[in-house]
A and B are shown apart, each in its own frame.
Chain A
Amino acid sequence: AQKITQTQPGMFVQEKEAVTLDCTYDTSDQSYGLFWYKQPSSGEMIFLIYQGSYDEQNATEGRYSLNFQKARKSANLVISASQLGDSAMYFCAMRESSGGSNYKLTFGKGTLLTVNP
């Protein structure tokens, strides 16, 4: 089974509107971390936001927020007031605590976001 599932290969949004990128995960661990990274066309991986499994509040970083629903095992990224520069590939990733390998990031296949003017 996929550990990280991103069901939207591509998404379109109008500039200045909000967009939600979906991410569901599969783990039996109690302690884990969820991350979102942005990969623009230039190719680098840029860290956006982090949510810990024990965090009671949803994480926010500027225009990015994470809609964390633990019971549903989902960690959707919300980008408010989209900008043209937000056009990029977005990856959801998870680190689990079990098995002594709590350093491995497991990535989803990504969602390509296009912001239209």
Chain B
Amino acid sequence: NAGVMQNPRHLVRRRGQEARLRCSPMKGHSHVYWYRQLPEEGLKFMVYLQKENIIDESGMPKERFSAEFPKEGPSILRIQQVVRGDSAAYFCASSPWVRETDTQYFGPGTRLTVL
């Protein structure tokens, strides 16, 4: 059973470009979460999605950031017009259910560097 897959692992963008980060959850998992890790910080929740639905995007900046989890294909985190402050590691996690007891399994992360 493959784990959570994220690509690319490393992404370099110039200011003003767009960044697209992809996440394929573990097989059988229909709940996807995105977290951001700034340098020397813990992870911070951004958004929670189920297939074709955004359930909670309260942790996501209101401008330039969007996320989707289509019926077919991976979940996408999209950052438009990137700025240097967007440089961070972005982690995707998935779980089969949503209960406080359920473990979220993380992908390897995408490290975004904005030049």
Chain A interface residues (CB < 8 Å from chain B): 4, 31-33, 35, 37, 42-47, 50, 52, 91, 93, 95-97, 101-110
Contacts and interface: CB of A to CB of B under 8 A. Distances in A.
B98 interface: yes
B108 A43 contact: yes
Interface in B81-115: 89, 91, 93, 95, 98-109, 111
A50 B98 contact: no
A31 B109 contact: no
B48 A103 contact: yes
Interface stretch (B36-44, B61-69, B70-78): B36-44
22 contacts: A4-B42, A32-B100, A44-B107, A45-B91, A45-B93, A45-B106, A93-B42, A93-B43, A95-B100, A96-B100, A103-B31, A103-B33, A103-B98, A104-B45, A104-B59, A105-B43, A105-B45, A105-B93, A106-B45, A107-B43, A108-B42, A110-B42
Contact of B100 (A44, A45, A91, A97): A97
The 5 nearest A-B residue pairs measured at CB: A107-B42, A45-B106, A44-B108, A95-B100, A102-B100
A47 B44 CA distance: 16
B18 interface: no
Contacts of B100: 31-33, 52, 95-97, 102
A105 B33 CA distance: 10
Nearest to B56: A101
Contacts of A103: 31, 33, 48, 55-56, 95, 98
A33 B100 CA distance: 6
